[in-house]
Amino acid sequence: MQRLSESLFQKFSTLVYREAGINLHDGKKALLEARLAKRLRATGIASPKEYLEFILSEEGREEYVRFFDAVSTNLTFFFREPKHFEFLEKVALPEIVERNRRGGCSRIRIWSAGCSTGEEPYSIAMTVLAALEHPGRWDFRVLATDISTRVLSTAQAGVYDKAKLTHIPPALRQRFLEPVSNGGPSKSYRVSRELMKVVAFRRLNLMDPFPFSGPFDVIFCRNVMIYFDKKTQESLIQKMAAYLHSGGYFLVGHSESLTGLKHPLRYVKPAVYRKP
């Protein structure tokens, strides 16, 4: 593929920022070129200029979605940043259970924003189902959203290579994953029906209006805002906080911080915030 001219790079960058809030600064030019090269090979389109024209046309709407699949970075694994799951089990969930007990409510809602290939929401579901007494008595659901249709397809299938299961505690692995026979030497595992019943996957661009009402008891928005500039981060936090239950928790990645941003949440501990 021919190298991106500066003007064409700016056009792609502007499009990605406007539509998805992702800030493709100059240091991301090589990444964009690599992702574009794959899409050009897949579509048979000759140049980045022609590709841009195509995805902005009416006939290119499906490829427009695939383009955003390609530029969104997805790195995840089960029980990534385990302290968050310990916090969910030991602190957040007991508070939610007690509040619901007092109010005569059985509803528990958690949102995994930027869920990628599903390891995070399934980890959340494992943690909650294992910690609840009589989980069948609870109206528990995890909403898992991502901008990428490609990763959502993997997440909905719920099948993972054995190597992906390394960080799952043995008791949870035994309860919630079952081996899949694929006829080859490698071994795959499928998440159980118990998990699939409580996790709903939906495509969502965080820059768009949210098509749900909430409120959520906990929102996981980890390693998502690192791709946004400060203005977009502030806007997104304020928008998401409106969907958080009073007393609910907002979790960001341990490499992230809300310091210096205007938002209505209170700091609890590193990477954990709470709505008053």
Orientation of helix 61-71 relative to helix 149-157, angle to 10°: 80
Start-to-end CA distance of the chain, whole Å, equals 52
Is 35 in the active site? yes
Q: Which two tokens stand for residue 53?
A: 């024209």
SS3 at position 179: strand
Do the Cβ atoms of 95 and 131 come closer than 8 Å? no
Give bridge partners of residue 55 from the DSSP assignment.
none
Q: Which of 39, 109, 146, 217 is catalytic?
A: 146
Q: How far apart are CA 135 and CA 128, in angstroms?
A: 8
Q: What is the C-alpha R_g of the chain?
A: 20
Active-site residue, 146 included: yes
Residues labelled catalytic? 35, 146
